[in-house]
Chain A
Amino acid sequence: MSERTDDGQKDGETVLEVHDLTKVFGSGETAVRAVDGVGLSVKRGEIVLVMGPSGSGKTTLLTMIGSLLKPTTGTIRINGLDITSLHESELTKVRRHYVGFVFQSFNLLESLNAQENVEVALNLAGNAGKGARNKARQALVDLGMKPRLKFKPKALSGGEKQRVSIARAVVNDPQLILADEPTANLDSKQGHDVVVLLRDIAKKEGRTVVIVSHDHRIREVADRVLWLEDGRFKDIGRLERDPVCGMAIEAEGAPTLQYEGRTYYFCSVGCRGEFEEQPAKFVAVGTPSAAQSPISGD
């Protein structure tokens, strides 16, 4: 594990710098501008949450930042290194040492146990033998996975799988952690634990964390929230929380419903329909934060 630095934010160095980034899929009439002239700068120890409707280009943006997808134009700098100009063999090194990924669907190797899933990332980076084994073990123990080290993914809960995935993401000590919907496949307790872990990774270990999510709890730990729509960052409108699915949504244009003198906002008419059938169920659980003040964009 890395040294636990102080709060990490005070030196204010820029870890990630994205400039005028564009990705066009396809060409001619069927071309899709998934990301369209995006700029972004994130400091050490900062947590940035990217929100936006489905299909707005969030995953595409994250994939490019993670060096897994070549942008059409624009530059991405991680720790000052322009990764857009690198060859594939150098990108391999970027993936090993500069970024760690946390996925919605965990992406663990089913044939390996928890510890091996972490160890394999060390092996790929040139760390083998007992040292690597102990390091993988320690990374999992740090995340409270000690009783599950030898469990195969199949035998782990979603929350446990995500811990393994987080351990794998940080084990090579990258400065930048990228997470795409890390809590979407988890129940609320497990999701909460993952949010806490991601916060600690940024605030205690001084890493930079970029998260794509609809999870309102991440909003609470994020230093900044960005709204991506049609491949561009927009000023964030008023955000509301869908009382049915918990997703954060822009109030403007969202389906609404009046209930007991309050306006509720929904991500879709489907959620509104569910609410209409049994409003009491959702209002009882729903927190007052549903009506919290809007968060502004950057």
Chain B
Amino acid sequence: MVPLARRYLLSDRLRLAISAGGVAFAVLLIVLILALYQGIYDRAGRLATTPPTQLWVTQAGTPDPSHGASILPESVLAQVQAVPGVRAVQPLLARTMLLGGQPNSGTFTFVMALPQGPLQAATAEAFGLRSLPGKGEAVLSDLVADDIGAGRGDTIYVGTSSFRVAEVSSLVDAGFSSAAFIGSEDAPELFGHPHAFSFGLVTVDEDAEVEEVEDAIEREVPGTNALTREEFADATRREVEEGFLPVVAVLIGVAYVVGLAVIALTIYTSTVERIRDYGVLKAVGASPLQLFAVVIRQSVVIALIGYVAGSALGYVSGNFIQDAVPEFATIYRWQDLAAVFGAALVMSAAATLVPIRRVAGIDPAVVFRA
């Protein structure tokens, strides 16, 4: 077979570059946006799945660590402990607050404290905390320290309270914001609720069903909400979905339309420029389908080049962004890449709709007219 589509594509390399570039640009943006979204989505659920426990107990109606401030009286600890199937319950104090080099400044940080409890050491380890901060001390995650430009030994402020940085380490991220720990003696005053805690981390007996214990806690300890790790993660992720997904959808839609417009215009102009060629082909025996195939092949090849270039560029630039801005995690899922591939093929097909109509309407008699 004479590779007519390829000859047409290669006969105008600038146009090929522009059209494949248009698709690549759209694919790049879409892949990058999806990867960033997945990164945020993944991070949003990480706090919930970090502790080595099966259940979270929160104040009823505040199943989200980043935005709802859960406050439970200390007495709840004993009540939860008394629920059949509960082996141990560990309190965690936490609040999203401004942390910076100056009072009332800096970056929103998920500030936590781990009071004494049966799972204190195991929970600290799960968060990446090598030693618990003492009174007046704070341990910052790399991200926070980097963000506010603080190092070990520096003084930082949470709100207006000052702390000395005892350590900077790679703590597990907490939802949207990065994590920091302060000493548990300082927490009640800082958070403003003495004799209270934020979350209960519950391990269940080995022979107990997690869901049954979950129900039992909510039934027997009024004013609480018990969630499995996945449920707790989903609560935060839902917020990501609700907050980001519409924006993500609009951005992806715009990128898609831009890519489609570029490929559709180039396919259209190149087809119209060669309309006489298509007429000649028809006169020497091309069926409409054979003519369509020439147009569609060009479009599909452009889309494939654009897809490969765009997703490769998306991957490279995503990693570059992640290096430059550590808060941005990027996650490339094969499902996303496959979906973008499908979308690129649909784009290439859509781009041929109008040109194909032009080709279908050619009067082969024109070839006799000079």
* Interface set of A (CB-CB < 8 Å, partner B): 59, 62-63, 66, 68-69, 89, 92-93, 95-97, 101, 103-105, 107-112, 116, 119-121, 123-125, 128-129, 132, 168, 172, 180
Q: List 16 A-B contacts (CB under 8 A).
A: A68-B283, A68-B365, A68-B367, A89-B287, A92-B286, A96-B285, A101-B284, A107-B283, A111-B11, A120-B4, A121-B284, A123-B2, A124-B281, A132-B1, A168-B284, A172-B285
* B283 interface neighbour in A101, A108, A120, Cβ under 8 Å: A101
A112 cross-chain contacts in B, Cβ below 8 A: 2, 4, 7
- Decide if A66 touches B283 in the complex (CB within 8 Å): yes
* B interface SS class: helix
Chain B 278-309 per-residue mask, 1 if CB under 8 angstroms from chain A, else 0: 00111111110010000000000000000000
CB nearest to A169 among chain B residues: B284
- Decide if B365 touches A111 in the complex (CB within 8 Å): no
* B287 interface neighbour in A92, A110, A180, Cβ under 8 Å: A92
Known: A68-B367, A101-B367. A109 touches B285 (CB 8 A): no
Q: Give the interface size class of chain B.
A: 20 to 34
- Decide if B285 touches A68 in the complex (CB within 8 Å): no
- Decide if B285 touches A95 in the complex (CB within 8 Å): yes
B277 cross-chain contacts in A, Cβ below 8 A: 109-111
Bound complex: CA A104 to CA B11 (Å):
25
B370 CB within 8 Å of chain A: yes
From A93, A95, A125, name the one whose CB has the most chain B CB atoms within 10 angstroms: A95
B290 cross-chain contacts in A, Cβ below 8 A: 124
Known: A92-B285, A96-B285, A111-B8. A120 touches B2 (CB 8 A): yes
Chain B 1-27 per-residue mask, 1 if CB under 8 angstroms from chain A, else 0: 110100110010000000000000000
* Interface set of B (CB-CB < 8 Å, partner A): 1-2, 4, 7-8, 11, 276-277, 280-287, 290, 363-365, 367-370
Bound complex: CA A119 to CA B282 (Å):
15
Known: A92-B285, A123-B1. A59 touches B369 (CB 8 A): yes
A116 cross-chain contacts in B, Cβ below 8 A: 2, 7
A123 cross-chain contacts in B, Cβ below 8 A: 1-2
* B368 interface neighbour in A62, A120, A125, A172, Cβ under 8 Å: A62
* B285 interface neighbour in A103, A107, A125, A132, Cβ under 8 Å: A125
Given contacts A62-B368, A112-B2, A121-B285, 10 further A-B contacts (CB under 8 A): A68-B283, A95-B282, A95-B284, A95-B285, A95-B364, A111-B8, A124-B284, A128-B1, A129-B1, A180-B368
B283 cross-chain contacts in A, Cβ below 8 A: 66, 68, 95, 101, 107
